[in-house]
Every structure is written in structure tokens, then in C-alpha cells.
Amino acid sequence: MKIIQLTEESKNNILENLLKRSPNSYGKFEASVNEIIATVREKKDQALFSYTKQFDGADINTSNFLVTDEEIQEAYELVDEKLLEVIRKALVNIRKYHEKQIQNSWFTTEDGIILGQKVTPLGIAGVYVPGGKAVYPSSVLMNVLPAKVAGVPRIVMCTPPGKDGKVYPSTLVAAKEAGVDEIYKVGGAQAIAAMAFGTESVPKVDKIVGPGNIYVALAKKAVFGYVSIDSIAGPSEILVLADETANPRYVAADLLSQAEHDEMASAILITTSKELAQQVSKEVDSFVAVLSRKDIIQKSLDNYGYILVAETMDDAIDAVNSIASEHMEIVTKDAFHVMTKIKNAGAIFIGEYASEPLGDYFAGPNHVLPTNGTAKFFSALSVDDFIKKSSIISYSKEALEKVHKDIENFAECEQLTAHANSIRVRFEEERK
């Protein structure tokens, strides 16, 4: 891996390079995505069947579009018992974590005034799950369970079928265990359009969540406003903050855990130790030589992999906050104290035994995280993403009478005389 001295210039150059990976930088695909969306809006199910044949090589029609109970039962028979067991253990952890996020409606009353907030779950949530070579039952759990905990009554999932017209068994089993209500065999931008606008079969949803390729990301961007979305996700990222106490072999292994995702993934080590930097670089080389996805890993490291050596821990922390990585590990002395200084990160892993895959699969916190620096203003997927809040306001006549002139004056200052009149008419009798 490239070892670079951390300076303001090197930090800014790296940030500029990382931002090139954002879906917002791929405008050349938008015309194709917009055409797909327009076609689905016009031709609905027929467009979905046609695109599924074109892109996935599967013959899907009205009779086999919706995954059946028989197909789910077959999936259970095909999935290894050990995988099913770990899915169920992870599900318990994920549900418990998200149950802590539940918000309740609240009300206050004082002198004839009732104020409050009414919390209501969304009506229908749409979950997109990638297919093809990307099989992520963990992503099914992470996207579905917050919606279930929030109380969403109907959860719809779309995922592309294989050429045989079937969905990967572990995807179906994870969906069933998590509580998905309907599963449709369609992927890509066409699936996003179907959930955003509805077809004869696929219902229009209130929110679309879930990862996907650049076409899926751009489709989610295009339909935002017609429906809500979780985020426009970019390639995966990991940043490890370490000092001389860190185990270089552990650090190298953790960096590669994200570099193997795809060639656009980013893996960064920021350290105050030149010796650790050199040791990690050597360990990375030894791991890459034997890992199954070494070609992908090497391209990721060549383009978006960095080891930055900082003069001080404060300089290192400043760079961490500027990069705002999706996954961030702290392997230093006083790691919890260092954590208090981290302002921008999707998920923070503390200590040498809190390796990033722990969060991907099992611990409980959500692995759907902000990327491309958006951790500066976005959060992990949570129960909050599947609820909406309505303000409650009730005033008695006596309570309004105490403040009505203030409101009228405010409205008239903004030259909104109808606003002022709406308050004034309630007290005209008293003025006569």
C-alpha cells in the first residue's frame, strides 16, 4: 500500500480522489436510468418482465413474478443448517439493538394548551436486495428489521432472479425470517421504478431502502421526492486509526475486509507510527497473495488504498473527521477517549477485537451506513427511517386569547393579512 506523510495537501488530494467514486459523478448512466424509469411508469409489469429477460436472462411473467410459499419452503431445504442458525442469532441481536431506538408519541398540557408529537410508522416499505454474484442475506436482515421494529405493516422486497427464474435460497430464507410480506423477482433500476410508482403487481411504497449497483443508486436518486429513500450509497470504505500499540496483522486483515468488496472500495490506515505503517504494508502484501479476490483487492488498493503517517494523534483525528468514513476502527491507547473526539463516521469500532465484519453480520447495529463523506450529515439506517412525526397543537379559547395579538402582529409584519385575519375573526365579538 502507498505510505504517505499526512499533510493538509495530501489529505485534500485523497479527499478529492475518494469523491470521484460518488454516484453523483456518474451522470453518463443517468439517461439510461431515466429511460428505464419512464418505460416502467408507462408499461408497468410488462416493462419489468421485458427488462428481466434482457438483463437477467430469466423468463418472468404474471404467473411466476411473486415468490410463492413453495419456493420459500424449497429455499429452507437448500440452505445449510449452520447458516440458518447464524441468521437467527444475528436476527435476535439486530432486533434487540433497534428496539432501543423506538420513539413514542408524547404530549404536554399547560393552561389550556396541548402540544405534542404523534409518531406513526410508514405504511409500506420497499427493500431492494442485489442478486447475481452478490448474495447478501445479512443485508436483508439489516434493511428489513428496522422497518419491522418501527411497526411498518407491509414490507415489499424486490430482487433479481437467476436465469432459472429463482431467487438465491439464502436471500429468501433471510427475508422470511425477518418478516418480509411479498417478494418480487425483479432487479435493477426497473425494480426501483416499480416500487416508486407502482405497477399492476408491485405496490407503490413510501420508502425504498437497500444497496445496489450504479443503476440502482441513480434510480433511487431519480425517484427521490416521489418516495423517500435511505441514501444514495457509494462504494464501501474502511478507515483504521492506529498507534504503535496496534497489531499490524489485525489492521491489515481489517483493511482488506472492505477492499475485497469491489474495485472502487477504499481502505485507509491513519497512524502516528512509521514502523506500524511499514509493517501493515508488508502484512497486506502477504494476505493479498493468498486471498480469493486478490485481483479486486489489488485494484482497490492501487486506486483508493492509503497509509497516512501523521505527526500527532490530533492531526490523525482531524483527518479522520475530514474523511468521514463509512466504517472506522480505533486501535490505540485510550481508544474510548479517542472515540469521544470522532465527529464523523458511519460506525465506530473500538479495540482490536471489534473487527469491522462483526458489525456487518452479527453485533446488532445497522450496517447500512453513509459513504463518500456523507457521515458528516447522515446516520446509519435505523428505526427512525421508517417512522414519521406529526406535530400536535391544541389551544383553548382562553389560551389563544392571551397571545392572539402577538400572532396577528407577526403575520402583518410578513404582509400575510389572511393569516392575521384567521386569528382576528375569533375575537371580533369581544371587540364590538
Show which residues are catalytic.
Answer: 326-327
Please list, in sequence order, all residues whose beta carbon lies within 8 angstroms of the beta carbon of residue 7, skipping any fewer than 6 positions away.
none
Beta-bridged to residue 392, according to DSSP, are 116
Grid coordinates representing 317 are 483525528
Place of cell 497473495: 289
Residue 105 CA from chain centroid, whole number: 25
Is the sign of the CA dihedral 65, 69, 70, 76 positive or negative? Answer: positive
Grid coordinates representing 221 are 436518486
Place of cell 432472479: 161
- Residue 232's alpha-carbon distances to 44, 127, 208, 218, in angstroms, are 24, 14, 11, 7
Q: What are phi and psi of 345, to 5 degrees?
A: -165, 145
Output DSSP code: residue 227. B
Rg of the chain in Å (alpha carbons): 26
34 exposure class (CB count in 10 Å sphere: 0-12, 13-18, 19+) = middle
**Spatial contact of 361 and 90, defined as CB atoms under 8 Å apart:** yes
251-287 burial code (b ≥16 CB/10 A, e <16): bbbbbbbbbbbbbbbbbbbbbbbeebbebbbebbeeb
Place of cell 483527518: 319
Grid coordinates representing 176 are 422470511
Give the whole-angstrom CA distance, residue 75 versus residue 401: 66
At 336, the amino acid letter reads: F
Nearest to 231 by CA among 120, 106, 375, 118: 375
Give the whole-angstrom CA distance, residue 188 versus residue 161: 11
